[in-house]
Structure formats: C-alpha cells, structure tokens
Amino acid sequence: MTPVLDTTLLQQGKQLDENSVELDRLLKQLSRSADDNAIDRVISLYKAEIVKLEKEIWQQAPSQQDIENYQSTFIVLEKLYQLKSADTRHSFKIVIPVADRPQHLKHCLDSLYTLCQTYRYGGQKDQQYHKISVLIADDSRQPENIELHKDYCRELSDKGIATDYFGLEEQLELVRTTSDRHPDLYNIISGSDEIDDAADFSHKGASIMRNITYLKIKQLLSGDSTSSNPLIYFIDSDQEFCINTLNVENNLYAINYFHYLDEIFSTSDTSVLTGKVVGDPPVSPSVMAGNFQQDVYNFLHVIDKVEPGEPCQFHQHEADSSDDAAYHDMANLFGFSQHEQAFDYHCTLHGTHVNADCFSDFADKLGHFFYGEHPTRKTFFNYGDGFSAIKAARTVYTGNYVMRPECLNYFIPFATLKLRMAGPVLGRILKGRLQHRFVSANLPMLHNRTVEDTGRSEFRAGVINSNQSIDLGNEFIRQFYGDVMLFSIKKLTEQNQFDEAVDADQVQVVLDSTYNEIRDSYIEKHHTVLQLRAKIESQLKDSEHWWHNSSMKTNEAGHAVTCFEVFLNNIQSNFDEGSYAFQQITAADSAQQYLRQIHHAILQYDNDMKNWAQALQT
C-alpha cells in the first residue's frame, strides 16, 4: 500500500533547508512511495513556495543572504527531482561564438560553472552535469587566442560540463561538404572556394559564424540519442550568467536560467525565446555619442563648481535606465521614449578620495566609450513580473536566445552583408512567421563590453585602434545600413510584402524611402553630436576652471585634461562630415551600392529559406 505523504509543512509555506530533518523525512517518504505522481505533487507545492519567496525578496533590494537562501531552495528542488524514475526536463546545448576574446570567454565559462554549482539544474551523474553541455564556435585569427580557447574548453569539461570545441578547420570542412551538396547557400554561410588555409576562414562575422554553427548543432543532435528534450541556448562570449542591481555592489547569481527556461518551454508552445542584457548597452557607440556627450557636458558643468580638494560629491543614487533604451540616441525609432536630459555620473572609486580624483577617474573612462561601454547609462536588472512571464517579442538579442531544434530553420538572415541589427531583423521575421510562439522573458545576462585591465574590448569588428586614435568608421556604416535593413523589413512584413510573392519594385520603393528617413535622422543626430562636442570643448578649455589653476596643475589633472582632449578628437574624426563613414552614408553613389546589395538579399530570402531547409534535412 502506498503511504500517505505528509506535506503539511509545504502546505503551510515552510521552506525546507537542504540539510534539515524535515527534508530528510520527506525524501525518505517519497523514496518509499516510488510514485512519480506523488513526487510531482510535492515538486509543484515546492515550486509555488519558491515563487512566493522570490517575490518577497525582490520587493526591496535583496541582500546576499536573501539570495543564498533562495539558491538553497533550488538545491532542495533538485533532490526532489532526483527521486523520480526519469527527469524529463529539457537539456541545454549552450552555444558560444567567440572571436579572439579569451578573457571574455574565461569569465563567461566561469559564470556558467558558478551557475551550475549554485543551482545544480539536472543534477550530476558521475560528476557530470548531464543536462548541460557547451559548444564553443571559434572564429579567432590569433593562434595564441585559439590555444587559450581550447584550454578553457578542456578546463570546463574537467569540471563536469561537457564542452566541445568547433574550430576553423572543422568549420571549413563542414561548409565545403554542405556546399558541395547544396551549392546555393552562399548568402547564409558564405563560400570556401578561394580559401586554402583555414586561418583565412576566421573573422567571418557573428552572423555567418552562427549559421555555420546551426549546421554543427544539427549534426550533433542527429548523432546524440542521449540528449533528452534539448533546447539550444545561444549566448555571447562577453556575457555572464548573473545580473547587476542598483543597490547591491556585487553581481548576483539570482536567476536559475535553466529552471525558468524549462518551465516556459514546458508549459507553452514557445518556439523561440529571447532574453535581454543588463550592464553595458547592446548597441554601437555610433548611436550613443549624443546622449553620452550630454552627460559629459553635465559632469564638467557640475564639477567645475566644486572644490577639487573636498570629499567626492559624486556618489549620489545611480539612475536606472532599464526600461527605455536611454543609451540610444534614436530610441524613438524603436518605440522607446526619447531622453533629452542628462544622466549624472556615479563615481566608482572606493575609500577616501576627493572631487579631483573623481575627475581623473571619469576622464580615464572616456576612451572606454568607443568600445561600447557607457559610463553614465548602465542598464540594471528589474524584477518586474518575474522570470516565467512571457510576452510577444519583436527583437532577437543574438547574445541571449533559446530555440527548439526545429527552429534551426530560421538562420540569421542576410549574414554575408555583415550589417549590424541582425537580431532585430530576425526578430521581425519571426514575429511574422511564428507569431505568439516567438516570445521574450525577463531572463537577462550581464553584458561587459570591455575587460577591466585595459578598458577595451579584446576584439570588436569594425573598431580600429591606432595609438590614441579610434576609428569607428566600419562599425558606423554597418550600424546605419543595418538600421535601413531593419526598418525596411519592418515595413515589408507589416505590408505582407515579405513572402514568396515579394515584388522587386515594391521592395525598392520601401528601401529608398527608408534610407531617406534613416539618413535624415542620422544627419540630425550628427549635427547634435558635433554641437555637443563644441560645448564640451569650450567648457574644458575655460581658463577659469580649477583644473587650469596653477595650484591644481598636477600630473593627474594634466592627464585628465589630455583624456578629454583625446575623446573630443575621436568624436571629431568619427562624426565629422568629411569622415569616411559619413560619406558612405550620405553620398548617393555609395548609398546605391549598399541598397542594391540589400535589395538583392531581400529578393533571395525565400529561396535561401528553402535551400537551407533542404540542407538541414540531409
């Protein structure tokens, strides 16, 4: 006879400690019952308690102890799952494309290991996390970075998370064999005809790399009979499985990503889910220079009125920019409210220091901006409606999205154009074709554009650093025409023009009108950027300000002024109307060249979809 389970403590909302007598008694009862239905009832009760606890701790800023108590509840939950005859929850194949970023990759993989240790999703068998595996897709060019990436793969495997390395030689061979059988895939995975050395197949770009990796994943899943109910989880190498908050200094491992993704995909017909990022913005500095300069000018306007030797006055409450893309100069184009006011700088120095120290520290951060960091407008985590709530999506954050295997059919579109905004473009397509099965959830990852010791990205396509001169030209162009592509696709999908019967003339009309709109918007912001630069320069050079006084002419103050001057020089060289990027954006001949490429890619998309589907079937 099956014994009656005593679930009184759970029904009363009792949180069970992982080492408590109550838990031990319950586990013994469940073990004797050998009844999956009984175990599921207890699991359901306990998950309800986890959600209640979660809501309670996020009503205010959680303490580290709150988070640790929360984490321990999931360890109890895993012990309950281990009693079942079979754990049918999803397994996760985590895919991380990387190009010459060993420090970023190391931090990313370390965070994954910490997450697995903290929440223990799926449990371990023979010291292996059997529901979590990783694929590193390496697009690196530097041999020393490639070796480091391989080392990190081995280290993670040794720690119990199976990690495969997908290198250039294997990528090239896969492209060649696939292209031999299906010769019409160039727009998706590029070509290999002119490549003799695998090293020349590096730096293909994130979109091409992801698409080639889709082929590899299909290959892996086809040959893996042990992977139950798999989900494919794409993340970027400059992200970590944790979050930041306004009121807690340390980053928190406060989200059990795998648990909530499993919940969402198990209780809905979701096909593709996208999360977001917190921390550094996910956009190019080419579309943040206006608002950042507002903040720089505001900082100078305030700090010139304080006494440099007095205790630092820049530790005010930090502003939260989590909901409205306040870092984007053209947020209104994306349906967000436009911020015109400046954001205050929040000093990051610790210990005893004065206003002059803050001035120098902020000046050192100015160069970080050109690598994608925004020193005044970070995004912070906001709990909102919780982790399991989903809503209709329109943008794929390509550094944080999850799909069922059948959605490998939806490759990253227009990859060989190498434009930015690939994720938003894919999102518009998925929104039209998957509709309610394409969703977003509040499961952000921490985004770090730069590494701490240099204040630079290890590798960033389209950004060229030469001594103190930073050239954003290529990234600027890719951003602009990526926006043209995005808003053209948006219009075409809304007009039901993006299908098999796509009309070439109508596509051209949409492209031309969109180009004109985006160009005018960029030119307007361009002028604003240069006007703000002039205001900052005037403020910086004003001889009345304390950093020019003879008594304050220290090495630190002189260095700080030089940092401001270098920043302004880089703004001028990248946003001047005579710059290469501005000419490529505004000159008619250059524009027509880019628009022809986009036009051709749009007309080919449906054929690309059919050819890709055939390639995945073989």
pLDDT of 546-590, one tens digit each? 888 866 556 788 889 999 999 999 999 888 888 888 888 889 999
Residue 233 and residue 91 in one domain:
yes
Q: Residue 4: is its pLDDT beyond 50?
A: no
pLDDT over 90 (residue 158): yes
Q: Judge whether 555 lies within some domain.
A: no
pLDDT tens, residue by residue, 603-614:
999 999 999 999
Look over the chain and give the mean of its residue pLDDT values, rounded to a whole number. 87
**If you average pLDDT over residues 403-415, what whole number do you get?**
95
Q: Are 93 and 204 in the same domain?
A: yes
Q: Do 93 and 231 fall into the same domain?
A: yes
Segment 313-326 mean pLDDT: 65
Instruction: Please say which residue of 82, 97, 116 terminates a domain.
Output: 82
In a domain, 128, yes or no: yes
DSSP 527-559: HHHHHHHHHHHHHHH-TTSGGGSGGG--HHHHH
The pLDDT > 70 percentage for the chain reads: 87
Residues 100 and 78 in one domain: no
* 27 belongs to a structural domain: yes
User: Does pLDDT of 353 surpass 70?
Assistant: yes
Tell whether 62 and 192 lie within a shared domain: no
Do 156 and 174 lie in one domain? The reply is yes
Band (112; pLDDT cuts 50, 70, 90): very high
The predicted structure's pLDDT at residue 576: 87
> What is the residue range of 166's domain?
87-237
Residues 6+ apart with CB under 8 A from 569: 468, 469
SS3 179: helix
Question: Does 24 have pLDDT greater than 70?
Answer: no
Same domain, 215 and 194: yes
In this structure, are residues 251 and 243 in contact, taking their beta carbons and an 8 Å threshold? yes
CA–CA gap between residue 41 and residue 306 (Å, rounded):
63
The stretch 97-125 carries a mean pLDDT of 95
The answer to whether residue 48 is domain-embedded is yes
Domains in the chain: how many in total? 2
104 and 75 share a domain?
A: no
Please indicate, yes or no, if residue 504 is contained in any of the structural domains. Answer: no
Q: Which of 60, 82, 104 is the last residue of a domain?
A: 82
Domain final residue pick, 237, 272, 296:
237
**Residue 288 and residue 283: Cα distance in Å, rounded?**
8
Domain check: are 135 and 215 in the same one? yes
Residue 498, domain member (yes or no)? no
Domain co-membership, 35 together with 170: no
Considering Cα of 435, then 436, then 437, then 443, what sign does the dihedral take? positive
What's the CA gap between 530 and 549, in Å, rounded?
Answer: 28
Average pLDDT over residues 426-443: 93
pLDDT for 17 beyond 80: no
Residue 57 lies in a domain: yes
Residue 403 three-state SS: strand
| Residue 30: pLDDT band with limits 50, 70, 90 | low
**507 vs 466 pLDDT, higher one:** 507
| Pair 17, 154 in one domain | no
What does the CA dihedral 406, 409, 412, 417 come to, rounded to 10 degrees? 170
Residue 500 domain flag: no
Which amino acid is present at 312?
Answer: C
> What burial class does residue 435 get, using C-beta atoms within 10 Å of its C-beta: 0-12 exposed, 13-18 middle, 19+ buried?
exposed
Closest to 253 (Cα-Cα) out of 432, 112, 45: 112
What average pLDDT score do residues 292-311 get? 91
pTM for the whole structure: 0.90
Buried b (16+ CB within 10 A) or exposed e, 521-530: bbeebbebbb
**Same-domain pairing of 120 and 201:** yes
